[in-house]
Chain A
Amino acid sequence: MSLFPTVGRKQLGVRISWWLVVAFLAFGVFMHLVPFYIMITTSIKPATEAMAMPPTLWPRQPTFAAWGLVLKLSDIAKSVLSQPLSKYFLNSMIMTFGTMILSIPVTSLAAYAVSKLIKGRAAKNLFIFFIGTLMLPGIVSLIPSFLLTRNFPFPLPVAPNIPGTDVAFPTLRIWNTYWAVIIPAGFSAGNFLLFKGYFDGIPDSIINAARVDGGSEFNIFRRIILPMSIPVYAVVAYFTFGATWDSYLWPLVVIQDSAIAPLTLAIRRISDAFGAAGTTNPLTAVGASAGISELVSQGLSWNGLMVLGLLQAIPTFIFFIIAREYLLKGVKIQGLK
């Protein structure tokens, strides 16, 4: 409450503009709630009502049929989805929590050291080394990174031979495993920036006091800094969860086996199949694959895709609810300098 004048708030002009601001913000909030409303109501509509014109505001006959059908998708249409949906969900969970468990300690310890332990030119150079990749388009490393998952440490399609022999160098292969998603995300430059911004705000005197009392730097970090830094950990955990849970291009490149594919790739397959079936219009679905026609005849159309969307959205949503108290306290970023 600083832009509007503190004196003369009762004046007509000030009041009108105040309410205009409120109206704008309320409209924005409303627009953010619309997707949730439409997705939830559509997911409990019967298939034909989900494609009714004009669209209905509230389902005439609410039914959870679509939820049941989506959860049994792989039984009905094996050609569309080879694994049960719960398997894809589990795969996403493994990749997401694996990334969080690896990346958050690695990134935060480095940020703490650069912020508080290492001084002078070394700290400056490390900072540039850590966040430099943020300022460059990361897409250029997509294909070398993909090749690295196949032949680590050679970013080549085929590992070279050991000079003078016909034997190829031994390489580490994480391609087409959960590790292919987890390991490359072991350090996150964006999260480094968040952590460093937060640690910079902790007074050095606290750490110096702890040093006088004795104890290793790691113990100081664990006993004193960590409890003070819960907000930034909550924010980073939420961001990391959201980003990995929704990661799409990278799994598309490194995960081939559908038994370990994340939910995002399953959604791609399903929406593809429905797209081929005339965008889920039963009348044009005649030429579609047997599995899809079967699903459509059992009552699955856009209501089912909305169920899928909700399944994808709910975990991020839960994480947001957990982290919401910390969102403002945890972000203390001051730009790239």
Chain B
Amino acid sequence: MSVGTDVIEPRPAVPAVEGGRTRRRWLNWLFVIPAILFQFFWGWYPMVIAIFLSLTNAPIRGAVTFRGIENYVRLASDPLVPMAFRVTLIYGILSIILTFIIPIITAILLMEMPPKTMRVMMILWFLPLSGIASTLFWQYLYNEKFGIFQYIATAVLGLPPQAFLSSERLVLFWLIVPGIIMYGPGLYYIAGLQGIPKSYYEAAEVEGAGFWRKIWTISLPRLRPIISMTLLFSIIGSLQEFTFPDLMTRGGPNGASRTVVMYMFTLLNNGRIGDSTALAVMLFALIMVFVLVFRLVFKSDPDV
């Protein structure tokens, strides 16, 4: 049937709808097929294959042979591995404790501002500073000889000169400090808060609810699905940290800020592909423990 007749002639109602539906249903898959291919080949496939690869020698040249848990045994005797896991755990847990809550509070308080003030403040608050650019900025601030933090510590607070990023004991803490106020998924919280009808708060006020009670019984429960999502991403993300510590300290001093992913990269650079993959699988297992604990805690969702 040509296009012209298709438009002019009214087709019988029932067969057209039926035919249309089957035609549509088949064509619908054209929308998803490219995404399925990409998600399969660059999403699931490498993820699953990592486990097999970690059980081989994976040499740069020559045939790949199955070696069982040899890579894992070698990693178990490497003292740098537990050290990297320790750094990763401290960094991950500390950064969630110090950086997760403030964006939520900020978003809730931002909603209290008059609409125009809120817009201006929000835009200034979310003004993006490229993550890579910020590493240069923070390195400058942390410089031991002429950084502003050293100036504040010695001239303003009268403390002895601080080591900052060269301190083995405190380097992880100093790496997390920039995240406390600077970055966070605040946009998601504001988007979530905007969806709460005003009448909820008005009704609560009639019932005599105050400031904190409204936050506790309306804002936070309504934000719960978003908070649980961002918390999950924060847990996964902070335990896989690479860029910030790599650019700030290169893992120093003496590996005190070398995360597992940084050590993976070192192994990969040394051509130890199998070991590096095995380390990745170990980190995967560790993170999955956290994810499972998280799911158990967040399982009982009153909204669903």
Contact = CB atoms under 8 A, between A and B. Distances in A.
Contact of B124 (A3, A33, A305): A33
B284 A140 contact: yes
Q: Which of B181, B229, B250, B265 has the most CB of A within 10 A?
A: B229
B109 A39 contact: no
B43 A187 contact: yes
Interface string A215-245: 0111001000000000000000000001001
Given A33-B124, A143-B264, 8 more contacts: A21-B112, A25-B109, A25-B121, A53-B145, A110-B36, A143-B280, A158-B60, A158-B64
B62 A158 contact: yes
Nearest to B178: A35
Contacts, number: 326
A: contact size bracket = 35 or more
B39 A144 contact: no
B111 A2 contact: yes
A184 B243 contact: no
A133 B133 contact: no
B86 interface: no
Nearest to A144: B46
Contacts of B93: none
A153 interface: yes
B140 A141 contact: no
Contacts of A306: 136-137, 140
A304 to B, nearest CB: 10
A263 B130 CA distance: 12
A147 B42 CA distance: 11
A249 B265 contact: yes
Interface residues of B, number: 115
B212 to A, nearest CB: 9
Contacts of B192: 333-334
Interface stretch (A59-67, A72-80, A291-299, A308-316): A308-316
Nearest to B151: A54
Do most interface residues of chain B lie in helix, strand or loop, or is the interface mixed? Answer: helix
Interface in B248-304: 250, 261, 264-265, 268, 273, 276-277, 280-281, 283-284, 287-288, 291, 304
B121 A110 contact: no
8 contacts: A5-B205, A21-B109, A39-B137, A141-B50, A142-B280, A331-B191, A333-B229, A336-B229
Contacts of A156: 53, 58, 64
A94 interface: no
Given A1-B114, A29-B121, A143-B277, A302 B140 contact: yes
A142 B273 CA distance: 11
Contacts of A135: 232, 236, 291
Nearest to B242: A249
B281 A183 contact: no
B46 A267 contact: no
B284 A109 contact: no
Q: Which of A22, A31, A110 has most chain B Cβ within 10 Å?
A: A110
B240 interface: yes
Pairs A-B, 8 closest by C-beta atoms = A335-B225, A110-B35, A144-B46, A113-B31, A2-B201, A187-B38, A141-B46, A309-B133
Interface string A125-139: 010011011111111
A333 B27 contact: no
A317 interface: yes
Contacts of A192: 35
Contacts of B49: 144, 155
A285 to B, nearest CB: 13
B123 A324 contact: yes
B143 interface: yes
B15 interface: no
A140 B140 contact: no
Interface string B106-134: 10111111100000011111111111111
B112 A310 contact: no
Nearest to B197: A2
